[in-house]
Chain A
Amino acid sequence: KQEVTQIPAALSVPEGENLVLNCSFTDSAIYNLQWFRQDPGKGLTSLLLIQSSQREQTSGRLNASLDKSSGRSTLYIAASQPGDSATYLCAVGPTGNQFYFGTGTSLTVIP
């Protein structure tokens, strides 16, 4: 069974810092990996989708990389802002029909 782990569980940084969130998964047989943002009590906002054949994807200040062979992905956030404060979820799949989610990294950006 696919296991997805995210480190750190929580992160607090001052505004303007660059930061890296980590995601690891145990089964490298994936179609793709998605990074989501979740605000408290809200739904999932898809940030970046990396297909298994890709190494990275970029959107604005966000860059996600994928190393399928080692079972790792990172989400890089440049020049962090208070509005980036949220929980960031990594999801891999699908394996069979389902996506497997990590428990997330709770990010706080301090003004």
Chain B
Amino acid sequence: EPEVTQTPSHQVTQMGQEVILRCVPISNHLYFYWYRQILGQKVEFLVSFYNNEISEKSEIFDDQFSVERPDGSNFTLKIRSTKLEDSAMYFCAVDRVAGGRETQYFGPGTRLLVL
């Protein structure tokens, strides 16, 4: 049983356009994370989110990126003005249902292609 789903599964966009990727947790979770994987490269951490605030972010997570929980349930990653190099698989992850941070469950990913 998946802990988290992601929508859309695939998205194609033009350079300069805004995209919003969504993460839908199945159960109540406290911590949310975004990772990305550029084709052929490592999965890299982008940001973590707890209690409606960013708790940690990497150097990749610049001003073009933002995260929020607009309805208290879904968790979104917004890229304001996409660049070609934003093309990647984006994974959402959530913490254990019990609220511990001991591990993270990863969603199926959204494949973003920027043309």
Contact pattern, B 77-96, Cβ under 8 Å of A = 1, otherwise 0: 00000000000010101000
A43–B43 CA distance with the chains assembled, in angstroms? 11
- A41 proximity list for chain B (CB < 8 A): 111
A89–B89 CA distance with the chains assembled, in angstroms? 15
CB-based closest 10 A-B pairs: A98-B45, A97-B48, A43-B108, A101-B43, A43-B109, A97-B56, A44-B106, A101-B42, A31-B102, A103-B42
A51–B102 CA distance with the chains assembled, in angstroms? 9
Main secondary structure of the interface of A (DSSP, over half): strand
- B33 proximity list for chain A (CB < 8 A): 97-98
Main secondary structure of the interface of B (DSSP, over half): strand
Q: Give the number of residues in B that approach A within 8 Å (Cβ atoms).
A: 25
The answer, yes or no, to whether A49 is at the interface (CB within 8 Å) is: yes
Contact status A97-B91, CB under 8 Å? no
Contact status A98-B48, CB under 8 Å? yes
Q: Nearest CB to that of A100 among chain B residues?
A: B45
Known: A96-B56, A98-B56. Is A43-B103 also a contact (CB below 8 A)? no
The answer, yes or no, to whether B17 is at the interface (CB within 8 Å) is: no
The answer, yes or no, to whether B66 is at the interface (CB within 8 Å) is: no
Contact status B111-A97, CB under 8 Å? no
A43–B111 CA distance with the chains assembled, in angstroms? 9
A100–B66 CA distance with the chains assembled, in angstroms? 21
The answer, yes or no, to whether B55 is at the interface (CB within 8 Å) is: yes
- B56 proximity list for chain A (CB < 8 A): 96-98
